[in-house]
Protein backbone atom coordinates (compact mmCIF):
# COMPACT_ATOMS: atom_id res chain seq x y z
CA UNK A 1 0.00 0.00 0.00
CA UNK A 2 1.41 3.43 -0.90
CA UNK A 3 2.57 5.51 2.03
CA UNK A 4 3.85 8.94 2.96
CA UNK A 5 7.55 8.89 3.86
CA UNK A 6 9.39 11.47 5.92
CA UNK A 7 13.07 12.14 6.53
CA UNK A 8 14.88 12.41 8.81
CA UNK A 9 13.08 10.54 11.59
CA UNK A 10 14.85 12.65 14.21
CA UNK A 11 16.55 16.02 13.85
CA UNK A 12 18.44 17.82 16.60
CA UNK A 13 19.31 21.45 16.00
CA UNK A 14 20.46 24.48 17.93
CA UNK A 15 18.20 27.45 18.53
CA UNK A 16 18.43 29.94 15.67
CA UNK A 17 19.44 27.37 13.07
CA UNK A 18 17.48 26.59 9.94
CA UNK A 19 15.99 23.15 9.43
CA UNK A 20 14.35 21.51 6.45
CA UNK A 21 12.00 18.59 6.97
CA UNK A 22 11.33 16.42 3.95
CA UNK A 23 8.36 14.40 2.82
CA UNK A 24 7.43 12.25 -0.15
CA UNK A 25 3.63 12.21 -0.37
CA UNK A 26 1.61 9.44 -2.01
CA UNK A 27 2.28 9.77 -5.70
CA UNK A 28 -1.18 10.53 -7.14
CA UNK A 29 -2.31 12.79 -4.31
CA UNK A 30 -3.04 16.45 -4.92
CA UNK A 31 -3.22 17.99 -1.44
CA UNK A 32 -0.29 18.18 0.92
CA UNK A 33 -0.18 19.17 4.57
CA UNK A 34 2.07 19.70 7.54
CA UNK A 35 0.85 19.10 11.08
CA UNK A 36 2.72 19.12 14.32
CA UNK A 37 2.26 17.50 17.71
CA UNK A 38 3.98 18.85 20.78
CA UNK A 39 4.58 16.04 23.28
CA UNK A 40 1.35 15.23 25.13
CA UNK A 41 -0.75 17.64 23.10
CA UNK A 42 -3.17 17.53 20.17
CA UNK A 43 -2.17 17.17 16.56
CA UNK A 44 -2.29 20.72 15.18
CA UNK A 45 -2.69 21.91 11.61
CA UNK A 46 0.11 24.06 10.20
CA UNK A 47 -0.44 24.44 6.46
CA UNK A 48 -2.08 22.94 3.40
CA UNK A 49 -0.71 23.13 -0.12
CA UNK A 50 -2.48 22.60 -3.41
CA UNK A 51 -1.62 23.39 -7.00
CA UNK A 52 1.78 24.75 -5.99
CA UNK A 53 0.53 27.26 -3.51
CA UNK A 54 -0.54 27.49 0.11
CA UNK A 55 -4.30 27.02 0.35
CA UNK A 56 -4.65 27.49 4.10
CA UNK A 57 -2.38 28.14 7.07
CA UNK A 58 -2.78 28.40 10.82
CA UNK A 59 -1.63 31.15 13.18
CA UNK A 60 1.33 28.95 14.09
CA UNK A 61 2.62 29.11 10.50
CA UNK A 62 4.29 32.52 10.72
CA UNK A 63 7.07 34.06 8.63
CA UNK A 64 9.60 31.64 10.09
CA UNK A 65 7.93 28.78 8.25
CA UNK A 66 7.80 28.06 4.55
CA UNK A 67 6.81 25.13 2.37
CA UNK A 68 7.95 24.09 -1.05
CA UNK A 69 7.35 21.38 -3.60
CA UNK A 70 10.73 21.54 -5.34
CA UNK A 71 10.00 18.72 -7.78
CA UNK A 72 7.25 16.26 -8.64
CA UNK A 73 7.74 14.08 -5.59
CA UNK A 74 9.09 16.00 -2.59
CA UNK A 75 7.33 18.37 -0.21
CA UNK A 76 9.41 20.29 2.34
CA UNK A 77 8.86 22.36 5.46
CA UNK A 78 11.55 24.91 6.32
CA UNK A 79 11.88 26.62 9.67
CA UNK A 80 14.19 29.57 9.20
CA UNK A 81 15.33 30.30 12.73
CA UNK A 82 14.28 27.59 15.16
CA UNK A 83 13.05 28.34 18.66
CA UNK A 84 12.89 26.03 21.67
CA UNK A 85 9.10 25.92 21.35
CA UNK A 86 9.41 24.47 17.83
CA UNK A 87 10.41 21.16 19.40
CA UNK A 88 7.68 18.73 18.36
CA UNK A 89 6.79 15.85 16.04
CA UNK A 90 6.14 17.17 12.55
CA UNK A 91 3.84 15.10 10.38
CA UNK A 92 3.44 15.38 6.65
CA UNK A 93 0.14 14.20 5.13
CA UNK A 94 -1.39 13.96 1.71
CA UNK A 95 -4.86 13.41 0.34
CA UNK A 96 -6.25 12.49 -3.03
CA UNK A 97 -8.68 14.07 -5.35
CA UNK A 98 -10.30 16.53 -2.97
CA UNK A 99 -13.69 15.54 -4.31
CA UNK A 100 -14.92 13.95 -1.10
CA UNK A 101 -13.36 10.53 -0.86
CA UNK A 102 -10.00 11.85 0.21
CA UNK A 103 -8.99 11.14 3.78
CA UNK A 104 -5.56 12.29 4.89
CA UNK A 105 -2.73 9.79 5.07
CA UNK A 106 0.11 10.64 7.43
CA UNK A 107 3.79 9.84 7.50
CA UNK A 108 5.54 8.64 10.65
CA UNK A 109 6.87 12.09 11.40
CA UNK A 110 10.13 13.86 12.09
CA UNK A 111 10.93 14.46 15.72
CA UNK A 112 12.50 17.91 15.92
CA UNK A 113 14.49 18.74 19.04
CA UNK A 114 15.70 22.32 19.40
CA UNK A 115 18.39 22.82 22.05
CA UNK B 1 -16.26 25.26 24.14
CA UNK B 2 -13.60 23.22 22.33
CA UNK B 3 -14.34 22.41 18.71
CA UNK B 4 -13.72 18.68 19.19
CA UNK B 5 -13.78 16.96 22.55
CA UNK B 6 -12.54 13.48 23.33
CA UNK B 7 -12.09 11.75 26.67
CA UNK B 8 -8.34 11.21 27.18
CA UNK B 9 -8.77 7.94 29.06
CA UNK B 10 -6.92 5.74 29.66
CA UNK B 11 -9.51 3.13 28.79
CA UNK B 12 -8.48 -0.31 29.99
CA UNK B 13 -10.32 -3.43 28.74
CA UNK B 14 -9.67 -7.17 28.80
CA UNK B 15 -8.73 -8.91 25.57
CA UNK B 16 -11.80 -9.84 23.55
CA UNK B 17 -13.97 -7.01 24.92
CA UNK B 18 -15.63 -4.32 22.83
CA UNK B 19 -13.88 -0.96 22.94
CA UNK B 20 -16.20 2.03 22.65
CA UNK B 21 -14.78 5.45 21.82
CA UNK B 22 -16.49 8.71 21.06
CA UNK B 23 -16.06 12.38 20.23
CA UNK B 24 -18.37 15.34 20.39
CA UNK B 25 -18.02 18.45 18.28
CA UNK B 26 -19.54 21.88 18.24
CA UNK B 27 -19.23 23.04 14.62
CA UNK B 28 -22.08 21.81 12.43
CA UNK B 29 -20.00 22.61 9.33
CA UNK B 30 -17.94 19.44 9.83
CA UNK B 31 -18.91 16.96 7.13
CA UNK B 32 -16.16 14.33 6.98
CA UNK B 33 -15.15 12.25 9.97
CA UNK B 34 -12.08 10.12 10.48
CA UNK B 35 -10.66 7.85 13.12
CA UNK B 36 -6.92 7.38 13.38
CA UNK B 37 -4.84 5.05 15.51
CA UNK B 38 -1.52 6.35 16.79
CA UNK B 39 1.17 4.24 18.38
CA UNK B 40 3.77 5.95 20.51
CA UNK B 41 6.16 8.12 18.46
CA UNK B 42 4.42 7.15 15.19
CA UNK B 43 2.16 8.97 12.76
CA UNK B 44 -1.63 8.72 12.83
CA UNK B 45 -2.81 5.68 10.87
CA UNK B 46 -6.19 5.99 9.17
CA UNK B 47 -8.76 3.45 10.41
CA UNK B 48 -12.13 4.72 9.28
CA UNK B 49 -13.45 7.51 7.07
CA UNK B 50 -17.12 8.46 6.97
CA UNK B 51 -19.30 11.12 5.47
CA UNK B 52 -22.80 11.98 6.70
CA UNK B 53 -24.74 10.28 9.46
CA UNK B 54 -24.94 6.53 9.73
CA UNK B 55 -22.79 3.48 10.31
CA UNK B 56 -19.78 2.12 8.50
CA UNK B 57 -18.19 -1.23 9.20
CA UNK B 58 -14.72 -2.50 8.28
CA UNK B 59 -13.63 -5.79 9.80
CA UNK B 60 -13.60 -5.40 13.60
CA UNK B 61 -14.21 -1.65 13.39
CA UNK B 62 -17.55 0.16 13.24
CA UNK B 63 -17.81 3.93 12.94
CA UNK B 64 -21.02 5.81 13.69
CA UNK B 65 -21.87 9.42 12.95
CA UNK B 66 -24.85 11.26 14.40
CA UNK B 67 -24.80 14.75 12.96
CA UNK B 68 -27.97 15.81 14.75
CA UNK B 69 -26.25 15.20 18.09
CA UNK B 70 -22.77 16.19 16.83
CA UNK B 71 -21.46 12.89 18.12
CA UNK B 72 -19.26 10.25 16.52
CA UNK B 73 -18.25 6.82 17.79
CA UNK B 74 -15.81 4.05 17.03
CA UNK B 75 -16.34 0.48 18.20
CA UNK B 76 -13.64 -2.17 18.16
CA UNK B 77 -14.91 -5.74 18.48
CA UNK B 78 -12.84 -8.65 19.79
CA UNK B 79 -10.11 -6.30 20.98
CA UNK B 80 -6.50 -7.50 20.93
CA UNK B 81 -3.42 -6.36 22.87
CA UNK B 82 -2.13 -4.97 19.56
CA UNK B 83 -5.08 -2.54 19.60
CA UNK B 84 -3.44 -0.78 22.55
CA UNK B 85 -2.78 2.70 21.20
CA UNK B 86 -4.15 6.23 21.22
CA UNK B 87 -7.25 6.72 19.07
CA UNK B 88 -7.79 10.11 17.51
CA UNK B 89 -10.97 11.43 16.00
CA UNK B 90 -10.61 14.07 13.30
CA UNK B 91 -12.99 15.97 11.09
CA UNK B 92 -13.09 18.60 8.39
CA UNK B 93 -15.57 20.80 6.58
CA UNK B 94 -14.67 19.85 3.04
CA UNK B 95 -12.34 17.60 1.16
CA UNK B 96 -8.90 19.17 1.05
CA UNK B 97 -9.67 21.22 4.14
CA UNK B 98 -7.61 21.13 7.32
CA UNK B 99 -8.43 18.46 9.85
CA UNK B 100 -9.40 19.33 13.40
CA UNK B 101 -8.35 16.63 15.83
CA UNK B 102 -9.63 15.52 19.19
CA UNK B 103 -7.05 15.10 21.92
CA UNK B 104 -7.06 11.30 21.62
CA UNK B 105 -8.16 8.47 23.90
CA UNK B 106 -5.50 6.09 25.16
CA UNK B 107 -6.67 2.48 25.05
CA UNK B 108 -5.02 -0.44 26.83
CA UNK B 109 -6.14 -3.98 26.00
CA UNK B 110 -4.91 -6.40 28.64
CA UNK B 111 -4.19 -10.05 27.72
Condensed to tens digits (0 to 9), the pLDDT of residues B21-46 reads: 999 999 999 988 999 999 988 899 99
CB contact (8 A) between residue A43 and residue B90: yes
**Which pLDDT score, from 0 to 100, does residue A100 have?**
54
pLDDT surpassing 90 at residue B53: no
Report the pLDDT averaged over residues A88-101.
80
CB contact (8 A) between residue A43 and residue B101: yes
**Which pLDDT score, from 0 to 100, does residue A97 have?**
65
Q: Which residues of A touch B34 (CB under 8 A)?
A: 103-104
Cα B105 to chain centroid, rounded: 8
**E strands within chain B?**
4-6, 11-14, 19-25, 32-38, 45-51, 54-58, 61-66, 71-76, 85-92, 100-101, 105-110
Q: What is the pLDDT of residues B63-110, one digit of tens each?
A: 999 999 999 999 999 999 999 999 999 998 876 678 899 999 999 999
Q: Which of B46, B49, B101 sits opposite A42 (nearest CB)?
A: B101
Question: What 3-state DSSP class applies to A86?
Answer: helix
For residues B84 and B107, is the Cβ–Cβ distance under 8 A?
Answer: yes
**Which pLDDT score, from 0 to 100, does residue B95 have?**
65
CB contact (8 A) between residue B96 and residue A103: no
**Which pLDDT score, from 0 to 100, does residue A71 have?**
87
CB contact (8 A) between residue A45 and residue B99: yes
Confidence of residue A96 (pLDDT cuts 50, 70, 90): confident
**Which pLDDT score, from 0 to 100, does residue B106 have?**
96
Q: What is the pLDDT of residues A23-81, one digit of tens each?
A: 999 988 888 999 999 998 999 999 999 889 999 999 999 999 999 998 878 999 999 99
**Which pLDDT score, from 0 to 100, does residue A28 have?**
85
**Which pLDDT score, from 0 to 100, does residue B51 have?**
84
CB of A57 within 8 Å of any CB in chain B? Answer: no
Confidence of residue A101 (pLDDT cuts 50, 70, 90): low
Residue B49 pairs in a beta bridge with B34
For residues B89 and B33, is the Cβ–Cβ distance under 8 A?
Answer: yes
Q: Which residues of B touch A61 (CB under 8 A)?
A: none
Amino acid sequence: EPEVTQTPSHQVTQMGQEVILRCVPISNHLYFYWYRQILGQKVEFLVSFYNNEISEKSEIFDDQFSVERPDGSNFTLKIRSTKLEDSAMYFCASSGTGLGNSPLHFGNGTRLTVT
Amino acid sequence: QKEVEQDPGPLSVPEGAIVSLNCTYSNSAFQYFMWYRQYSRKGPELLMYTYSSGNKEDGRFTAQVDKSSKYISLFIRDSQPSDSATYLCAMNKAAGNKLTFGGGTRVLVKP
